[in-house]
Amino acid sequence: MSALLYLIPIALLMGGAGLALFIWSVKSGQYEDLDGAAERILLDDDLEEEHE
């Protein structure tokens, strides 16, 4: 029972830290362009530079 006195506040702090980091990442624009990174992988920039 005494272990719960330590584990519950630690869990709440870790959950709050995770929520704070998620809110920070949303506000800083980390989730604005989800398709851009996926499409950027498919573009072959190396071939375009060789042909120029």
Question: Looking at residue 40, what is its pLDDT?
Answer: 79
Place of tokens 């800083």: 28
Which residue range forms the structural domain that includes residue 26? 2-51
Which distant-in-sequence residues (6+ apart) come within 8 Å of 25 by Cβ?
Answer: 31
Q: DSSP letter at 28?
A: T
CA 5 and chain centroid, separation = 31
Through-space distance between the first and last CA atoms of the chain, rounded to whole angstroms: 71
Number of domains in the chain: 1
Amino acid at 47: L
Output the pTM of the full model. Answer: 0.62
What confidence tens digit (pLDDT) does each residue in 1-52 have? 899 999 999 999 999 999 999 999 999 998 888 788 778 778 776 655 555 5
